[in-house]
């Protein structure tokens, strides 16, 4: 019984690890825009990106955030990065008017 519990717990931990970076990004976005509920599709092309390769195709907003983070010489976007790009809604409005 202990072995089964151990393997189930270890499997859950390994399954949850890749989501850590996503939760970090969601937390950074929510720090910048507290009244929002960001979703994967807000930054990625796919509604539910696969965890296989670790890299997911970014949409225009995701590319803008990645570029802003790279310009600021950051490994990952921070709340300041999201503020510099603007909210998802503001970015979408700007794209429509162009």
Model pLDDT, residue 78:
94
Q: In angstroms, rounded to a whole number, what is the distance separating the alpha carbons of residues 70 and 66?
A: 6
Q: In angstroms, rounded to a whole number, what is the distance separating the alpha carbons of residues 95 and 98?
A: 5
The total number of residues shown for the chain amounts to 98
How many angstroms separate the Cα of 10 from the Cα of each of 15, 19, 23? Answer: 9, 15, 20
Model pLDDT, residue 29:
93
Residues of the chain with pLDDT under 50: 12-20
Model pLDDT, residue 55:
64
Predicted confidence (pLDDT) per residue in 56-69, tens digit: 788 999 999 999 99
Task: Give the CA-trace dihedral at 65, 42, 36, 28, to 10 degrees.
Answer: -40
Single pTM value for the model: 0.71
Is 78 in a helix, a strand, or coil? Answer: coil
């Amino acid at each position: 019984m202990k072995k089964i519990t151990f393997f189930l717990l270890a499997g859950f931990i390994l399954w949850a690890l890749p989501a850590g970076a996503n939760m970090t990004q969601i937390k950074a976005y929510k720090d910048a825009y507290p009244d929002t509920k960001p979703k994967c599709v807000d930054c990625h092309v796919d509604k539910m990106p696969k965890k296989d390769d670790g890299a997911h195709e970014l949409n225009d907003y995701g590319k803008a955030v990645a570029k802003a983070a790279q310009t600021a010489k950051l490994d990952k976007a921070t709340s300041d990065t999201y503020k510099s790009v603007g909210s998802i809604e503001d970015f979408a409005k700007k794209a429509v008017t162009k």
